[in-house]
Amino acid sequence: MISTKLTELLGIDHPVVCAPMGSVSGGSLTAAVTRAGGLGLVGVSYGDAAFIDEHVSQAAETGGVWGVGCVMFTFDDRPGLWDKVLGYAPPVIALSFGDAAQVHKYVASATDAGSHVVVQVHDPQQAAVAVQAGASVLVAQGAEAGGHHKNQATLPLIPVVLDITEGRVPVVAAGGFADGRGLAAALALGADGVMMGTRFAATEESLATAGFKSRLVSARTADTVNTRAFDVVRGIPWDDVYQARSVSNDFTRTWTGRDVELAGQRAIVEPEWIAAVARDDTSQRAMFAGEVLDLIQNVRPAAQVVHDTVDEAERVLTRLARSLDHPTT
């Protein structure tokens, strides 16, 4: 058993968090991770009422310590959906991608509702804002992550965020983690746990489609690309400082770096793209995935991912401890 400030604060068994991936982290995956002793998070991302009612309610029925992940800037444009999320009384609310004012607003609201509040940060400035706003936990996400991210790598970001928090709140490392070796490395840096996305996307319980899961297993890290094309085609107003890591395909090869042109042709391209997504066309659909793809060899049960990650981390840490007690000459 690995005990950290994160496990003690939340009352969970293992310092492993499932990233709240929109359209991937549903109620079944969240429940499986929670039952295994980690922290499962439903990814409601862009705020769809029907998705919230189906998947957040499923997670709530499981009980235990679970949560909901919300992209802050999108909830500002969807009145009533934030209150809908709070209505399910999630023990944890994970917030991401908001400006300073939004961080303060949503942290205060979630705290008042009785939830532990996790805030994802990508640089020292965002970390300072989250601490000042009263976040319960910080997630330091590096550029190795799948999906949306900034430019700073995980390895140097973690100690910087730890210096800013000064031990006041747990820090979870994200971006580049898929197994126990990564968890051990994060703990060695001083983090209190890891958040994994791509590894949990390739699980039996995830909502990822069959084509998406198959591509996660067959693709390699070298096949990923940073792109804004999927945001542009969907008309989602992401800040220019963010781009998203995805498995490259015909769509990214056609449109990456042509944002203005794609925006101008969106009325034509978007319907065709939506139809391709509906038929699970992996040459066109978004398949957000991180630089851990070289480590993803199969689709596994989520509980097995949690337990294997922790078991491997314990072995690595034990080996390191023994090497300190009995250094080689």
- The CATH number for 157's domain is 3.20.20.70
CB 214 within 8 A of CB 298: no
Q: What is the phi/psi pair of residue 120, to 5°?
A: -85, 135
CA distances (Å), origin 317, targets 2, 103, 181, 308, 314? 10, 35, 9, 14, 5
**Do 311 and 178 sit in the same domain of this protein?**
yes
161 in the same domain as 22: yes
Q: The whole model's pTM is what?
A: 0.96
pLDDT on residue 264: 97
Query: Do residues 246 and 225 touch, judged by C-beta distance below 8 A?
Result: yes
Do 201 and 253 reside in the same domain of the chain?
no
- Is 113 inside a domain boundary? yes
What's the pLDDT score for residue 79?
Answer: 84
SS3 99: coil
Separation CA 251–CA 215 (nearest Å): 15
Domain assignment present for 5: no
Q: Could you tell me if 229 and 137 lie in one domain?
A: no
- Check whether residue 196 and residue 303 sit in a common domain: yes
Q: Same domain, yes or no, for 272 and 166?
A: no
Question: Quick check: 246 and 286 in contact, CB under 8 A?
Answer: yes
pLDDT score, position 65: 97
Which pair of structure tokens corresponds to residue 54? 């189906």
Residues of the chain with pLDDT under 70: 327-329
Indicate whether 9 belongs to any domain. no
Q: Are residues 204 and 220 in the same domain?
A: no
268: tokens are: 């034509």
The answer to whether residues 214 and 203 belong to one domain is no
Residue 1 lies in a domain: no
* Residue 173 · residue 158 · CB < 8 Å: yes
Distance between CA atoms of residues 300 and 198, nearest Å: 12
Residue-level pLDDT at 183: 98
Cβ-contact 291, 224 below 8 angstroms: yes
DSSP secondary structure, 215-270, as one string: HHHH--GGGEEEESHHHHHHT----TT-EEEEE--HHHHHHTT-HHHHHHTHHHHH
Q: Are residues 66 and 199 located together in one domain of the fold?
A: yes
Beta strand segments in the chain, E: 16-18, 40-45, 66-71, 92-96, 116-121, 137-141, 147-149, 171-174, 194-196, 224-227, 243-247
Pair 35, 65 in one domain: yes
**pLDDT at position 192:** 98
What's the rounded Cα separation, in Å, for the pair 152 and 293?
Answer: 19
Domain count, the chain: 2
**Predicted local distance difference test score (pLDDT) of residue 44:** 93
Domain range for 228: 210-278
Residue 329: the pLDDT is: 54
Give bridge partners of residue 94 from the DSSP assignment: 69, 118
pLDDT of residue 293: 98
Q: In one letter, which amino acid is 268? A: I
- Measured between alpha carbons, how far is residue 199 from residues 69, 80, 113 in Å? 17, 32, 31
Q: Are residues 35 and 135 in the same domain?
A: yes
Identify the pLDDT of residue 285: 97
In a shared domain, residues 122 and 142: yes
Phi first, then psi: give them for residue 71, nearest 5 degrees: -85, 110
The answer to the question of residue 191 being in a domain is: yes
